[in-house]
Structure formats: structure tokens, C-alpha cells
A and B are shown apart, each in its own frame.
Chain A
Amino acid sequence: MTSAYEPLSLNVPEPGCRPGDTPDFSDFEIPRAGDVKRPPVDVDPDAIRDMAFSIVRVLNKEGEAVGDWAGDMSAAELREGLRHMMVLRTFDARMLTAQRQGKTSFYMQHLGEEAVSCAFARALQPGDMNFPTYRQAGLLVASGYPMLTMMNQIYSNAEDPLHGRQLPILYSSKEHGFFSVSGNLGTQFVQSVGWAMASAISGDTKIATGWIGDGSTAENDFHAAMVFASTYKAPVVLNIVNNQWAISTFQGIARGGVGTFAARGHGFGIASLRVDGNDYLAVHAVAKWAAERARRGCGPTLIEHVTYRAGGHSTSDDPSVYRSRREAAAWPLGDPLERLKTHLITIGEWSEERHAQAEAEILAEVTAVQKQAEAVGTLGDGKAPSPRDMFEGVYETMPPHLVRQRQEAGY
């Protein structure tokens, strides 16, 4: 029997570039800065469907801020923003080295993505709640969370607020609007929607933000979050950080044949747009717009932050095995720190000298804090919280079986 059909074959998407290839982003369509218009915050999601296929950008090649989305931050605020990103980058570099030196088990850095969380944090109000992933520490850095506490957590030392129970960098700070990071991908996206629903149920004016990576949008909970956000018009800003990679898997595996991740919002009637994630001003402007929309009861917004994970996925990863070493340098949206620095210099609010001085100051500060943290303790130096503590806090009141087990363990 011969079939009238050709044998089927499976479509497995491949990235444009693998180790040894020459990176080529010529297919990646990048609108000019200032091209995308800023709609009113109460816009009908249907009226901005095109925004899911474009990219909001403010900073142009010359370092000028242009278009509708420019102009909502003062020079002082921008300098502060630059400082936050510099702190985060320095912090990451120091902690990466500390991990290599065996002072902690694990670390994940933000290299290339600093603008996303640092700029976003500045668009929120006290009392709002972020449901972050492990790659949004900028939310803490830019909202004044003590760097020392972050390091104590990373070292699981005696002053770790989480008592050594949680993996390094999976911070928690209700006070700073930073929900305890789970480590299970996607689960918290839908929790952010629930938190936002609770705010609406309670007649509050606080909003929530959900965070998820490009790869993790494939999880069921991404879709669950969209259904609930859409149905209940929850006051939530849903953020997809598309840094092009999910460990070794390029974003096309999660995205499939669809145009963009942001376009997934269309089926749910959610206002959906993309932003240049390496443009501090654009991220901030879009975050403010979406937060205002949520706070005014206009419903959820889905934001795809288009960026690039310039470093390894984590300290356990070697990206040169699956992608070209030259890809990061070829990434067309540049480096977020360089771009903001250039902008500040262009408008006469910063200089190479001041930058070099700030860099030196920040390094000295981070190093000093690190010394303090290491004086308290590092992982495995015997100064960790007592093992007795692991039995605490499983429940508010320890049930009898846990009391027995704690005694059996000798604590």
C-alpha cells in the first residue's frame, strides 16, 4: 500500500546561531525609538493589538530620549537608576566569585537584564506586591532593601532572615513588596493574580505584579494566570522577561509558531505590549503606565520585556556549549547600563569621570558589605542557623509528630 501523503516529520525549532556560528539578528525587527505611541491608560486592549508586535523604545542610538514615552523621570532619578543597575551588576560579580570560592552553593546573575527589575521597581508604590522570579533582585536593590541582608541570605549564615531554609537568592521581604521566591517555575504568576484579586475584593488600591521567564511561559500556570486575570480584571501587571534563553533552550521552543510572547495576551483580551528591556527609561515608562492602569481598575497588562541573558543561566551553567560566545555582543539592544550612562552624558548630567568614580565607590561599598556578611558567616563554616530551626515554622504551632522528630534528631 502506498500512501497518497509524504511521511510526516516533526518540527523542532532551532535558534539562528549555535556555537561556532556567526550571530545574526537581522531578522529581529526593532522599531526606531519613539515610534510606538503612548495610548491613554484606559485604552481598550483591542485598540492596541499592534503593540504586542512592536517594541516601546525611548533611547535612540545617539543616547537621546525621544517620543511619547520619554520625559517622566528627572536627571536625579535617572542617575539613581544608573546607580541601582551598577550596584546590582557589582553585587552579582562579587557573589559569582564568592560562589566560585565555595562561600555559597549557588548563584544567578542578571547580567544584561538589570534595567528590567531596577526600572520597574521605581514605578510601584509602597504596599504593592511583586511575585518575582530568581532574576529580579533589582526590585530589592532599587527599593532600598539592605544589601547586607541579601548577602546573609546568600551565605545562609546566622543572620539570614530565612534561617538557611531557602536556596541562595530566593529572597523574601513582605516589607519591600517582594514575595518569597519559590524556585518552582510559573507557580507564582497565578499567585500574583490572586493577590491582586484580594486587593480588589478588599476595596484596596494596591496592585500586584507577576514575573515569569520566556521559557516558563510554557507552564500551565502562565495560562491559568491569564484566564483569572482576564476573567476578574485583576489589578495586576504580568511581566514576561524574554531574555532569549531558558538555560540551554532558546525562546522559540516555548514560543512556538506565534509571533511574540506578548501576543499570547490577545486571546485573553488583556492589554499586551513589548518593551525594550535594555532601555531603562522605556521599562520605567511602560511599568508606570501599566501600574496606573491596574490601580485605576482598567485591568491587567501583559508586558514582554525584550532583553538578553548575557551571562550563564546560573553558576551551574556553561552557555558556550549551546550558544555562540559572540551572541551577547551582537545583541542589537545593547547593554542597559551603557545606554543609560550614554543618555545621561548626552544630556549633560553625567560624565566618564563621574562614572569611573561611582564605579569605584560602588565596588568599595559592595566589598565592605561583603566583608561584614562574611564576618557573620558563609555556607558551611559552621555558623549557620541551628538544625533545630528546620523543624520550626512548618506550621504556626509545631504538631506533636514534629516535636517527636525534633527530639529524635537530637535538637
Chain B
Amino acid sequence: MTMIEAIRDAHDVAMAADDRVVVFGEDVGFFGGVFRCTAGLQEKYGKSRCFDAPINESGIVGTAIGMAAYGLKPVIEIQFADYVYPAYDQIASEAARLRHRSNGDFTCPLVIRMPTGGGIFGGQTHSQSPEALFTHVSGLKVVLPSNPIDAKGLLLSAVADPDPVIFLEPKRLYNGPFDGHHDKPLTSWKNHPLGDVPDGDNAIPLGKATITRDGADVTVLAYGTMVYVAEAAAEETGVDAEIIDLRSLLPLDLDAISASVRKTGRCVIVHEATRTSGFGAELMSLVQETCFYHLEAPVIRVTGWDTPYPHAQEWEYFPGPARVGEALKKVMED
């Protein structure tokens, strides 16, 4: 199963189990979404449970908040993470704070899905990774799967969650794993063990990281596409890296992070988003706070540059295996 099919399957399972689950967004209804993540849902569940919305992100999130307050469980799609900004006020000022400010009188169980990240020649308007804009807001949860099994399992948990969840989908991984070697032939999820998505309700709890590669020399903290980039970098440099796929940025599995860094004594943080005030800064602080006396070298960040996401220069922007490999070598030498 591709990640797209896994996401669609999660919707299907959630909608079949609970008729309070409603799905809408731009092009989401009849057509099934520009990435087809909601294909067939309107036909199966009817137009009042899966429908097209006007092109107004604030309106999509704002109406979903009202629906959640009523007692429904909206799962909505923002067509690209790059277009979430018109809805940012509704997310940060309203969805995130409703439970707290009303002391639980009203709550906002809501999932806001959006494709994120680059690697598809999407330029500045189809490539951004705004996760840190959401982890910075109290009251939100932020989830970012890296494979079909996790995408389905985490989405099911997000739908079941009593609070608003930002669900970021690395679009470069929709159809297959991608390690940053853009000149190599595409690989698909077919025949990949992580594409072997179990049927039914196989929820994966939020807040649990997973180790995708055991290693002794250095801990790599990554999520989304960067998990595969880090794996490639470890193979290519021969550095025995332990790679942690965070999966959920908030809540964050700090125990898994510190256990690994205390073991290896070294840490490299990788993300595609811009560097300054990025989520890597938070990770670095936490590693410093919890593992300082175990560290044998300064922690290194490998990230997108602090520029708008370029079009023609995509691969110079994208933190690929070469840059991650350099960091692995450097952290071993330090």
C-alpha cells in the first residue's frame, strides 16, 4: 500500500467506525483530493460526510472548529502546508485554546492534515515544512509519519484524540521511500515492509518515537523524508548511526531521545525546514538539558537553508545524504 492508500484507508476505518467523523477540504469530495487521499469516501459515506469546501482555509478550519464544538470529529485537509497560513489564526488562537479557555466546557477534537516538505520541484509554494509554527503553539499536537504503516496508525490515533492534531504528510514519501538521491530511479512502497499496512483499526499511539536503525556511534534525530536520507548517509559514510524517527513532535518521546544520546554520546539533528528557530533548535536544547554530561561532541543540525524554498536549486536546498554524511563524519571527529 502506498502512503496515500494508507491515509485513505485510515479515513475509511475511522468513518466506518464513527459516523461523527466528517471529511472536507478543497477538492476533497467528488475528486478525492489532489493527492487522492480521500478518493472514494464521498461515494461510500455520502456527501454530508465527505465534501468539497470553498477555497478559504480560515473558513475550512473555522467551520471545523464549530463542528468539533458541536460534537463531530472533523478530519480536514489543507491542500498544501504552504496554504495553511490563512487558517493560522483559527488554529493558533481558537482550536488550540478552546479547551483551556473554556475550562473544558467546549473542546476541539479536530485533525488538520496537510502535505508537507519538498523534493517534488514544488518551488516556494508547494514545499514548505511549517512544523515548528505548530509545535510553538500550546494546545496543539503535531504528528509527521514517514511510511504507510505509521501514516495509517498515527492518523487513526489523531482522529481518536480529544484535542486538535496537526497531521503533516511528507508528500515526497506518498508513493515511495526517498533517500535524497534524486537521480536514482524511484522506489515504491510495493514490496517494502513498511508498505505492508495491516487491515482494520491498527492505531499507533502519539508520542512514541521509533528506532529505524540501531547504532553505537551517533544518534540521528529525524522525521519524515529525512529518516531515509539519514539511513542513506549512515550506509554511505559507514558511521554506525542510531536513527530515531520521531513520528510525533508534540508530544515528543524525550525518553527515547535521551536514552539513545546517553548511549552514543553524539547527536545530529536533521530536518528539511529552515534552520533558525526550527524544531531542531528545540531538540538541541532538550538534548543539551538532558544529556550534557554524556556528550562527547557538539550537537550538529543539518537543515534547509534560511531562504525561501527554491525551484531550480531544489537539491542544493534539500539537506540530502551528502550533507548529512558530512555532519556524521564531523561529529565523529569532534
Contacts and interface: CB of A to CB of B under 8 A. Distances in A.
A386 interface: no
Interface stretch (B250-258, B262-270, B313-321): B250-258
A228 B56 contact: yes
Nearest to B67: A198
A80 B71 CA distance: 33
Interface string A360-402: 0000000000000000000000000000000001111001110
Contact of A394 (B20, B58, B139): B139
A396 B101 contact: no
B301 interface: no
B62 interface: yes
B66 A190 contact: yes
A194 to B, nearest CB: 3
A349 to B, nearest CB: 38
Interface size range of chain A in the complex = 35 or more
Contact of B138 (A170, A201, A394): A394
A124 B108 CA distance: 24
A157 B72 CA distance: 33
Interface string A186-211: 01101111111111111000001000
Interface stretch (B89-97, B190-198, B234-242, B326-334): B89-97
A161 B100 CA distance: 12
A166 interface: yes
Given A180-B98, A198-B70, A400-B254, A172 B103 contact: yes
B68 to A, nearest CB: 8
A221 B56 CA distance: 9
A225 interface: yes
B28 interface: no
Contacts of A220: 58, 86
B215 interface: no
A244 to B, nearest CB: 26
Interface residues of B, number: 45
Interface string A126-143: 000101000000000000
Nearest to B253: A400
A182 B207 CA distance: 29
Contacts, number: 143
A161 B103 contact: yes
Given A195-B67, A396-B162, A224 B103 contact: no
B163 A395 contact: yes
Given A184-B93, A194-B66, A400-B254, A165 B56 contact: no
A199 B59 contact: no
Contacts of B86: 220
A201 B71 CA distance: 11
Interface in B103-131: 103-107
Contact of A399 (B71, B104, B162, B250): B250
B46 to A, nearest CB: 10
B94 A395 contact: no
Contacts of B104: 393
A224 B70 contact: no
B99 interface: yes
A210 to B, nearest CB: 9
B101 A170 contact: yes
A165 B67 contact: no
A401 B106 contact: no
A193 B66 contact: yes
Given A165-B100, A393-B99, A399 B66 contact: no
A187 B108 CA distance: 15
Contacts of A125: none
B49 interface: yes
A201 B45 CA distance: 12
- In this complex, which of A129, A227, A395 has the most chain B Cβ atoms within 10 angstroms of its Cβ? A395
A394 B99 contact: yes
Contacts of A166: 101-102
A227 B105 contact: no
A170 B103 CA distance: 12
Nearest to B109: A396
Given A173-B105, A200-B48, A401-B251, 11 more contacts: A166-B101, A172-B101, A187-B62, A193-B63, A196-B66, A225-B59, A231-B54, A393-B100, A393-B103, A396-B162, A399-B251
21 contacts: A179-B69, A180-B102, A190-B62, A191-B65, A191-B69, A191-B94, A194-B65, A194-B69, A197-B63, A197-B66, A198-B22, A201-B22, A202-B20, A208-B66, A227-B56, A228-B56, A394-B100, A395-B162, A396-B162, A399-B251, A401-B252
Q: Which 6 A-B pairs have the closest CB atoms?
A: A194-B66, A194-B63, A224-B59, A190-B62, A198-B70, A180-B102
Interface of A: 129, 131, 161-163, 165-166, 170, 172-174, 179-180, 182, 184, 187-188, 190-202, 208, 220-221, 224-225, 227-228, 231, 393-396, 399-401
